[in-house]
Chain A
Amino acid sequence: MQERSQGDDAEHRTGSPDSDGSDGPGDDSVNPLIEDLLAGKHRALARVITKIENRQPGYRELVSQLHQHTGDASVVGVTGSPGSGKSTLVDKMAATYRERGETVGVIAIDPSSPFTGGAVLGDRIRMGSNVGDMDVFFRSMSARGSLGGLSTATTDAVKALDAFGKDRIIIETVGAGQNEIDIVKTADTVTVLVPPGSGDDVQMLKAGILEIGDVFVVNKADLDGANRTVQELREMLDYRDGGLPRTVGHHGADAAGDVHGEDDGTETAGWEPTIVETVADRGEGVEELLDVLADHRAYLDRSGEREKQRHARYAEEIRTLVREDVNELLAAEIEHRGGIDSFVKQVRERETDPYAVADDVVGPIEECVSERRE
C-alpha cells in the first residue's frame, strides 16, 4: 500500500497485484511505510509486521531500516503450558503498564495446524482490559509451521514495535518445545507460568522451559495446591545451579532483585530466579510481578549482563541470517544442477556418494569466495 507512493500515484492506496513490493536496489531513502510507522501510524506498523510474517519481497530492507530506531524497549517473554493463564496475565500486565503511563506491544504466538497451516488465534479474547486503547498494540502470530523462521519473524516484529516507540514489549507463547524456547530466549526477561498442580516434583526436574526462566509465576495462586507448587519450584530452582537445596523459604519476595551472590564470590552469582504468585483474572500480584521485572532489568544493567545478552543475540541473529541465505544459495545451486532427485538417483545407483555430491556442489562456491577474498 503506502510504499506504492514511491514513484507513482500516491493517493491510490489500495494494493493491486501489479504494485511493486520490492524496492529498488541501492535505494537509500527511507521507505514510506517505515516513515508512517515512525510517525505513529498503527496501520503502517500492522502492515510491516504482516510483511515480516509473510516474508514478502522487500521485507528485509524494511527490517534493516528499522534497526537504527530500536533498542529502547524492554522485552519480556511469557511462556507456560496451555491454560496456565498467559493471555489473562499478559492482559493485566499491559493494563498495569498503561496505568503507569507506558505504552505496550504484545506479540502472541499460537500454534498452527501442521496439516492445513490454518490456525485459530485465540489469545486476543482475553485482552478485555485494554479495550479501545490503541496504545496497547496486540498482534497474534501463528507458528506457520516454520521451524527456523518463527524466531526470526518474532525478533523482527519486536523490532517493529520497538521502533514504533513501545516502551514495553511482551512476547507470549506456549512453552511446548525447542521452538518456543528459542523464541522466548529473544526476550530480555523470561517469565514462566506454572499453574498449581502441574505435576509432581519429577516433572519439575525435567529439562527445558524451567531452566530458562528468570521469573516464575505461580498463577491461579488461589487454587488448592498453589503453596505446594511454590515449594516444589523453590526446591527445583535451588538445584538448578548445581547447588544443594537450601532451606525452603530462603527465597522470599525479599530476595527479589538482590544480587547477593556477587560478594560471596560463588559461581552462581547473579540473578536468583524469583517466584511470584498471581491471580491473573483478578489482577492480584500483577503489580508485584512488574516490580520484579523492573528489578531484573536493573540487574541486567548493573551486572553488564544486558551487554552480554545483546551481544549474544545479535551474533545469533547474524549467524541465522547468514546460514539461511547460504542455504538458499545452495538450494538454488542444487536446483540448477538438475535437482536433488537426480543426485539421489546417482547415489542410490552407487555412481557417487553423498559426500562427493556435497563437495561437488559446495566446491565451486568455496572457490569463488576464496578468490574474491584476495
Chain B
Amino acid sequence: MSVNQEQRTIRCLVAKVGLDGHDRGAHVISRAFRDAGFEVIYSGLHRAPEEIVQAAVQEDVDVLGISILSGAHDTLIPEIIDGLTEYDAFEDTLVIVGGIIPDADEDELKELGVAEVFGPGASMAEMIEFVRENAPERE
C-alpha cells in the first residue's frame, strides 16, 4: 500500500515462439501462474526469438517460460539464449521450456542453460513450485 513498502512479485514471460499455433497450454499456464500470484506477460503467438528477447529484457522478468510444440526448439531456443546473453539478461533469468521435447534434446537444452523442461503430464503445482524455488534472487 505504501510508497516504501517492498512489494516483490515474481514476473514471468510466457512465450510462444516460431511457427507453432498451439497456445492452449500457454494460456492454461498463464492463468495458473496468475492464480499463483505471479505477474504474467504473455507474448502472443508466432513470435520471433528476437521479440522474445526484447520482451524478456524490457520486462525484466524473473522467469522466461517458452512453450514450443513445433519441434523447432533446437534452433529457436539457442537463439533466444544468445539474445539474452547479448543483453546481459541470461544469468539472472530462469529459463524453462514446456512442450514436446525428446529426451535427448532435453539434455542438450539443459546444457545450454535451460533450467527445466516440462513435458506432457507435468502438473501445474509442480511447475509453480519449481518457479517459486528457483526464481533468481535479485538485489
Contact = CB atoms under 8 A, between A and B. Distances in A.
Contacts of A53: 7
Contacts of A17: 137, 139
Interface stretch (A39-47, A72-80, A196-204, A213-221): A39-47
Contacts of B79: none
Interface in A110-158: 112-113, 116-122, 124-125, 131-134, 137-140, 142, 144, 146-149, 152
B6 A134 contact: no
Given A122-B41, A132-B48, A140-B39, 11 more contacts: A14-B91, A14-B136, A49-B60, A54-B8, A56-B139, A118-B35, A120-B30, A132-B50, A148-B1, A320-B3, A324-B2
Interface of B: 1-9, 11, 30-31, 33-44, 48, 50-51, 54-55, 57-60, 87-89, 91-92, 136-139
Nearest to A16: B137
Nearest to A108: B41
B87 to A, nearest CB: 5
8 contacts: A16-B137, A46-B59, A119-B34, A119-B40, A120-B31, A120-B34, A125-B42, A328-B2
Given A56-B6, A132-B48, A132-B50, A119 B60 contact: no
A321 B3 contact: yes
A4 interface: yes
B40 A118 contact: yes
**A-B complex: 6 closest residue pairs judged by Cβ atoms:** A125-B44, A46-B60, A118-B34, A15-B138, A324-B3, A21-B139
B48 A116 contact: no
A54 B7 contact: yes
Contacts, number: 143
A148 B2 contact: yes
Interface of A: 1, 3-4, 13-17, 19-21, 41-43, 46-47, 49-50, 53-57, 60, 112-113, 116-122, 124-125, 131-134, 137-140, 142, 144, 146-149, 152, 320-321, 324-325, 327-328
B138 A120 contact: no
Given A43-B88, A144-B7, A149-B3, A139 B58 contact: yes
A42 B139 contact: no
A125 B16 CA distance: 11
> Which applies to chain B's interface (DSSP): helix, strand, loop or mixed?
loop
Contacts of A320: 3
A48 B89 CA distance: 14
Contact of B57 (A46, A56, A142): A46
Contact of B137 (A15, A121, A327): A15
A16 to B, nearest CB: 6
A15 B92 contact: yes
A142 B34 CA distance: 11
B21 to A, nearest CB: 14
B139 A118 contact: no
B87 A43 contact: yes
Contacts of A56: 6, 8, 139
Contact of A131 (B11, B51, B60, B139): B51
Nearest to A3: B139
Identify which of A42, A56, A60, A121 gathers the most chain B CB atoms within 10 Å of its CB: A121
Most buried by B among A14, A55, A113, A140: A140
Contacts of A146: 1, 7
B7 A55 contact: yes
A152 B3 CA distance: 7
